Structure 1
Amino acid sequence: MLARHERAIIDIGEHYVRQSYRTRTRIVGPNGPQDLSVQIEHDHGNKMPMREVHLSRAETWPQQHLHAIRSAYGNAPWFIHYIDDIEAVLLAPHDRLIDLNMATLRLGLQWLGLTPAITVEDAYVEHDPATYLDLRSALHPKKPLPPDLDTGASYAQVFEQRHGFVPGCSVVDLVMNLGPEARGWLLRA
């Protein structure tokens, strides 16, 4: 979506939503689609503002994510160009979920050469359909993409012969498979 927009608002005052893309991302590995979930401390349900959600460092999820990414994309054409960036973000000492999410957002934008103006709002942002497109609840791993967001476009994936094209994957999947062509693909899709 950010490939087609000049600015975005990140609402860290919104309530944390369990089992959402706020704590997970999808890749495609040898066994098919795989969701990588970030572990958080004290899940207080959907009542906690995003700015207060802290990452759990008691778990080894960063190492598990790196292992899964290496297994999924070790043979991808652009693996060697991106894995060090991914490792740096995952192993950095982020305290809050929003800090990790912002670091991954910045990395994805850097890879894609996109420069939208990003505004971080600390207080909950009321939805105003005349002003902006609100995607806070539109994208969820357990729901299909809304028709206006699903272009149906595909690209070659590492395990496509085994699983077919798997839509809805992370920018990691896109850049590992397309490299510098990822931006052009997004703009055309």
Structure 2
Amino acid sequence: MNSLILPTYFPSISHFAVIAQSDKIVFEMEDNFQKQTNRNRTYIYSPNGIQLLNIPVKHSKEAHQKTRDVLIENEFDWQKQHFKSLEAAYRSSPFFEFFEDEIAPIFEKKHTFLMDLNFEVLDIVTKCLRIKFEFGKTTEYFPETPDFADFRYLANGKKDTNTFEKYTQVFDDKHGFINNLSVLDLLFNEGKFAMDYLKTQKLDLK
């Protein structure tokens, strides 16, 4: 299938299931930025349960700002905070140390635009998963996409109701299985088996 998705920060498992199961991916570049979505946030499994990692962005005076124009607020070291949270969550996972050197540079480089950071994240994670996929980028916004499966809704976690098969998580003995976290949760827990998992999960097309 050909699929349309939004670039997000360390995307959810549902996002990567779409990538793994698609013949071609097109990334939406012309949408308006919406607050409290996964465009600038991701969820991990911390020792205390689900944890939100949020990228601070500079607020625009414009009523409708394109996501591609959103600037990251780098006044405080959110990157250091995010990496420390990942270490606390996954240091004891089977594959954290295996992928650590590939993931760490994201938290050392300063990006100006949120979109640039999200695409670098995608590049690194797809390499970790050994996914080779063809993708394009939109040049205008279309509400309807008859030629593509429209998975843009996945960027809004509240609308993403996909339920996936259980796999072993670091703290599942404390809090049980937590569904559809950041793809990092799957990567650090399942390693080379993550891609097989992504290819077999059922997705809701809305």
Task: Give TM-score scaled by structure 1 length.
Answer: 0.90
> How many Å apart are 1:79 and its aligned residue?
0.9
2:131 corresponds to which letter in structure 1? L
Q: Counterpart in 1 of 2:66?
A: 49
Once the two structures are superposed, the pairs formed by residues 9-20 of structure 1 within 5 Å of their partners are 9-20=26-37
- Structure 2: which 5+ residue stretches go unaligned? 1-17, 202-206
Name segments (4+ residues, structure 1) moved above 3 Å: 43-46
> How many Å apart are 1:144 and its aligned residue?
5.2
Corresponding residue to 1:145 among 156, 160, 164: 160
- Secondary structure in 1 aligned to 2:150? coil
> How many Å apart are 1:6 and its aligned residue?
1.7
Tell me if the contact between 2:164 and 2:180 (Cα under 8 Å) persists in the aligned partners: no
Tell me if the contact between 1:127 and 1:134 (Cα under 8 Å) persists in the aligned partners: no
Tell me if the contact between 1:175 and 1:182 (Cα under 8 Å) persists in the aligned partners: yes
2:26 corresponds to which letter in structure 1? I
Residue deviations 1:49-89 (CA, integer Å, cap 9, x gap):
01110111102110000000000001001010112222101
- Structure 1: which 5+ residue stretches go unaligned? none
Tell me if the contact between 1:66 and 1:87 (Cα under 8 Å) persists in the aligned partners: yes
Once the two structures are superposed, the pairs formed by residues 33-44 of structure 1 within 5 Å of their partners are 33-44=50-61
1:179 & 1:45 partners in 2: Cα distance?
Answer: 42
2:131 & 2:63 partners in 1: Cα distance?
Answer: 31
Corresponding residue to 1:134 among 140, 150, 154: 150
Q: Counterpart in 1 of 2:176?
A: 164
Q: Counterpart in 2 of 1:7?
A: 24
> CA RMSD, aligned part only?
1.7
- Secondary structure in 1 aligned to 2:89? helix
1:46 & 1:134 partners in 2: Cα distance?
Answer: 25
Bigger CA drift: 55-64 or 44-53?
44-53
- Residue 79 (str. 1) matches residue 114 (str. 2): no
Tell me if the contact between 1:38 and 1:55 (Cα under 8 Å) persists in the aligned partners: yes
Aligned-residue sequence identity (percent) comes to 27
2:61 & 2:87 partners in 1: Cα distance?
Answer: 32
- Secondary structure in 1 aligned to 2:135? strand
Residue deviations 1:26-63 (CA, integer Å, cap 9, x gap):
10010000010011112457611011101111021100
1:71 corresponds to which letter in structure 2? A
- Residue 91 (str. 1) matches residue 93 (str. 2): no
1:33 & 1:83 partners in 2: Cα distance?
Answer: 21
> How many Å apart are 1:114 and its aligned residue?
1.4
- Residue 182 (str. 1) matches residue 194 (str. 2): yes
Are the structure 2 counterparts of residues 173 and 167 from structure 1 closer, same or farther at C-alpha, using a change threshold of 3 Å?
Answer: same
Corresponding residue pairs, total: 184
1:20 & 1:137 partners in 2: Cα distance?
Answer: 10
Task: Give TM-score scaled by structure 2 length.
Answer: 0.83
Bigger CA drift: 165-174 or 150-159?
150-159
Are the structure 2 counterparts of residues 44 and 9 from structure 1 closer, same or farther at C-alpha, using a change threshold of 3 Å?
Answer: farther
> How many Å apart are 1:151 and its aligned residue?
4.2
- Secondary structure in 2 aligned to 1:137? helix
2:32 corresponds to which letter in structure 1? H
Tell me if the contact between 1:75 and 1:158 (Cα under 8 Å) persists in the aligned partners: yes
2:136 & 2:156 partners in 1: Cα distance?
Answer: 22
